[in-house]
Amino acid sequence: MRIGIVNDRAMAVEAIRRVLSKAAQHRVAWVARDGAEAVGLCAKDRPELILMDLLMPVMDGVEATRRIMTTTPCAILVVTATVRDNAAKVFDAMGAGALDAINTPVFNPRTTSSSAAALLFKIESIGKLMGDRVDHQLAAARGGATSFFSRRNLLVALGASAGGPAALATLLAGLPRNFPAAIVIVQHVDEQFVAGLAEWLGQHTELRVGLAREGEVPAQGAVLIAGTNDHMVLVGSNRLAYTPEPRDYPYRPSVDVFFESVANNWRGDVAAVLLTGMGRDGAKGLKTLRNRGHHTIAQDQATSAVYGMPKAAAALDAAIYILPLERIAPTLTGLFAANLNHSIQS
């Protein structure tokens, strides 16, 4: 894989170079010392993957990611030494289209560090994801929701990847405080950042946001986020659980695995939503849910930071509604209108 490195610190660049040299299939395409230089280099020579730092002079990694994804889109992995201290910037970069984030590998010329192995694993996972695309003709856009759920056991299942944090913040901000359904989210992000994501999303909504715990039952008005690198699944009695299977899967946690488990085990009605993201994770699971009679929604191309996952869903005719991001929350509210009115009266 041809990889661009964007980092203003010489030692960090050297550490990344040494890690990449351990894998013969990777080579450095170019090195940029700030975001503005990266935007220019990417326009002239687009690599397959960019390793993007966050804090740099001239132009930071968030703005560089936003501009690259607008003009010459490619896979971007945030690689920075300050991930935990700059969680908001990480989520801003992911909202602009970055796929994931990881700490800069430790510079150690004599041994292979765990941080080096972690970076190579991330790159390998992204490589698998990039090779898993669908380029079929898109399904036609559809109008707004016209039917309502009647039962009270309600679930909104959400899947997202690149661009997901910002999209999720927008969607959750548009839901009312008395929203009558439980909400469960699978976002492609490393488990070390999920707690920060939950806290950040909680600042954008009046709903309760937290990490999904083993054995927890999704509750009305609460938002639960997959909290580990294992797959989150729904098991008997509407309980959530985690499983390492399937192990050989480029997406962890997987939206498909979660959606399929919801289709098989949720006792009640479901509205499933597939948001922005690279690859096609979630498309097959969304199709299964549609085939089982549930409402399914995919984000449209114009408002997706990366039109991969929802594009795959559209190609499979998995989505009943293909909507711009700003219309998804009102559509969900409309689908649950009968139950929302009951909640207000009681």
Residue ranges covered by each domain of the chain: 2-130, 154-345
Q: DSSP character for 276?
A: S
- Give 129-171 pLDDT, tens digit per residue: 665 433 332 232 333 333 334 345 899 999 999 999 999 999 9
Rounded CA-CA distance 60/51 in Å is 13
Residue 188 among the catalytic residues: yes
Residue 237 among the catalytic residues: no
- Give 281-320 pLDDT, tens digit per residue: 999 999 999 998 899 999 999 999 999 999 999 999 999 9
Rounded CA-CA distance 340/346 in Å is 10
Q: Which of 79-83, 170-174, 283-287, 340-344 has the lowest mean pLDDT?
A: 340-344
- Sheet containing 49-52: give its strands across: 27-32, 2-6, 49-52, 75-80, 100-103
Residue 161 among the catalytic residues: yes
Rounded CA-CA distance 173/186 in Å is 18
From the list 53, 256, 281, 300, the catalytic residue is 281
154-345 shares the fold of 2-130 = yes
Rounded CA-CA distance 148/70 in Å is 37
pLDDT score for 27:
94
The 3-state secondary structure of 133-170 reads CCCCCCCCCCCCCCCCCCCCCEEEEEEECCCHHHHHHH
pLDDT score for 345:
40
Q: In this structure, are residues 286 and 314 in contact, taking their beta carbons and an 8 Å threshold?
A: no
pLDDT score for 337:
66
From the list 161, 254, 261, 304, the catalytic residue is 161
From the list 26, 188, 294, 295, the catalytic residue is 188
Rounded CA-CA distance 343/47 in Å is 52
Task: Provide the pLDDT confidence category of residue 236 given band limits of 50, 70 and 90.
Answer: confident
Structure tokens at 107: 């510079």
The listed CATH number (3.40.50.300, 2.20.28.270, 3.40.50.180, 1.10.260.40) that belongs to domain 154-345: 3.40.50.180
Domain 2-130 architecture? 3-Layer(aba) Sandwich (3.40)
Q: In this structure, are residues 214 and 246 in contact, taking their beta carbons and an 8 Å threshold?
A: no
Gyration radius (Cα) of the chain, Å: 20
Task: Provide the pLDDT confidence category of residue 112 given band limits of 50, 70 and 90.
Answer: low
Beta-bridge partner residues of 78: 52, 101
* pLDDT at residue 343 is higher than 60: no
